[in-house]
Structure 1
């Protein structure tokens, strides 16, 4: 198994290329009644600048599975993961557990750590000394297709 792929997640690194970004229409998009758009301002936006705080420590991974659907992470969503963020209780983390990557919510109490899925069909995992366990990075954003 390589670092780039496991059964649960496939990792990608951001491209470091300077581009113009996508067109960004700087108006509030109404989710209620439509508003006239004749006076909108058009600028460029870079999703790298919006979603990535630390390029050297940021990776993308595609979700495989349903264990985090309650947190809004669905099968095939693209995660933005920052390895420079310190893990904390209740953060969603990508972890390396016993030879596989997984994404779960961290539960930390004292010296005890649990990996909590956000789907009742999956068990909570208690981390013990017998586990090969690393918190690999913290999920900062999720990109969905609609």
Structure 2
């Protein structure tokens, strides 16, 4: 069954006013065989400082829905969205379509622009002149819970 999904995204603005952050161990954590850790260099790490390139144009939004699971965007993931980036073919974009926000992969083809879901249960959306359509921003990172 193919369905058209519209997402209701909740937007958050990054707070870059503080330079605190979580403790970061620079040595890395082995995903293979454990290695002896002689020195654990500690410093503070702010994810905003790493994930946000343009603080005035960057927002966070939470995913609601399953249409992008093939791209690794699962329900309740937190998206980092940069409004200063140029939309381009194959980028994942947050779009405002006919009064609702949605996140899809942009497909720019000779016959027009398509919003391509990453789940075979959802159908692509062809953008027409009748649509109220704005590419709101480009997804740069995804933050997941495990």
Q: Same fold (TM over 0.5)?
A: yes
Q: Matches of residues 8-87 of structure 1 in structure 2 within 5 Å?
A: 8-87=8-87
Q: 5+ residue gaps in structure 1? A: 1-5
Q: 5+ residue gaps in structure 2? A: 1-5
- What's the TM-score, normalizing by structure 1? 0.92
The farther-off stretch of 9-18 and 86-95 is: 9-18
What corresponds to 1:90 in structure 2? Answer: 90
- Cα distance in 1 between the residues matched to 2:90 and 2:8: 21
Q: Deviations over 1:37-66 (max 9, x none)?
A: 232211111111100000000000000000
Higher relative contact order (CA 8 A, sep 6+): 2
What corresponds to 2:3 in structure 1? Answer: none
**How far is the alpha carbon of 1:29 from its aligned partner?**
1.5
**How far is the alpha carbon of 1:36 from its aligned partner?**
1.4
- Cα distance in 1 between the residues matched to 2:111 and 2:87: 13
SS at match of 1:56: coil
- Cα distance in 2 between the residues matched to 1:39 and 1:7: 46
- Cα distance in 1 between the residues matched to 2:127 and 2:13: 28
- Cα distance in 2 between the residues matched to 1:141 and 1:113: 23
Is the Cα contact below 8 Å between 2:7 and 2:103 reproduced in 1?
Answer: no
Is the Cα contact below 8 Å between 2:7 and 2:63 reproduced in 1?
Answer: no
CA RMSD of aligned residues (A): 1.3
- What's the TM-score, normalizing by structure 2? 0.92
The alignment covers a number of residue pairs equal to 141
- Cα distance in 2 between the residues matched to 1:52 and 1:71: 21
SS at match of 2:145: coil
